Structure 1
């Protein structure tokens, strides 16, 4: 069961996973050892899946975001496995979601420029049969976060 201190630790780590345990302990009014034990428990219990570094995409040469809408006429396990195999080794595809409704999948791509999408498109259609595939370029990011709300966690 999580308490308010656990949630605050999770929120602080989501904002900056490189915070020193001493800083975290100060911010949540715990001793360093008690804070360290809580962090370890949160990791052991699966609340903290992993700690990563987020790159500045412009500095990494990937300022362009595209969303690719995929519709398929096939919904078999075999097709899905073929699709997974096609997307797994394309690092520019950073997210893929299976959807409800008339859209089957949405892919989020990060690219150096719009023209780079053509290479990815060709790689996908060479490996997988689609009913329809279309792409849109993100003009502006209004909100982007990796943090999730912690008030639902039990």
Structure 2
């Protein structure tokens, strides 16, 4: 699917607020409510819109510590990777898992309550899959966080 300027504007608006009413979206892009709805459905069918979420304030729900977990491993076999994927995907505290180039093998982003909660997460992870080197960096100040892609 090729995106035109109307699609891009709709996507910008929806990224800012997925609950924007169709009437307001239509006004913003100069389309009828139905034409807007059809475009959004086409964007969903094409896999461009993959979901809609409500963004929460982690501190207000008791998860005020963001941690980046840096992992190096000596295991690179497919069965190890399958175990690692299953383990990290099953742990709700882990919000992102990235296989990296360079010296670092994996980078994980997790949201936990505090250091004790991070230690619980760490212990659970190493029980599920063997890791050769794990270190963590704790976020002291979040300067920017967004899920909005530049369009």
Give the TM-score, by structure 2 length.
0.95
Q: Give, in whole Å, the separation in 2 of the partners of 1:114 and 1:89.
A: 21
131-140 or 120-129: bigger deviation: 120-129
Structure 1 residues 72-83: aligned runs within 5 Å: 72-83=73-84
Q: Give, in whole Å, the separation in 2 of the partners of 1:49 and 1:116.
A: 31
Find the residue that maps to 2:49 and give its secondary structure: coil
Shift of 1:123: 0.9
Structure 1 residues 1-154: aligned runs within 5 Å: 1-150=2-151
Q: Give, in whole Å, the separation in 2 of the partners of 1:86 and 1:9.
A: 36
List gaps (5 residues or longer) in structure 2. none
- On the 8 A contact 1:114/1:137 being kept in 2, the answer is no
Q: Give, in whole Å, the separation in 1 of the partners of 2:7 and 2:76.
A: 42
List gaps (5 residues or longer) in structure 1. none
What RMSD over aligned residues (CA atoms) do the two structures have, in Å? 1.0
Q: Give, in whole Å, the separation in 2 of the partners of 1:121 and 1:45.
A: 38
Q: State the number of aligned residues.
A: 150
Find the residue that maps to 2:55 and give its secondary structure: coil
Structure 1 residue runs of 4 or more that deviate by more than 2 Å after TM superposition: none
Give the TM-score, by structure 1 length.
0.93
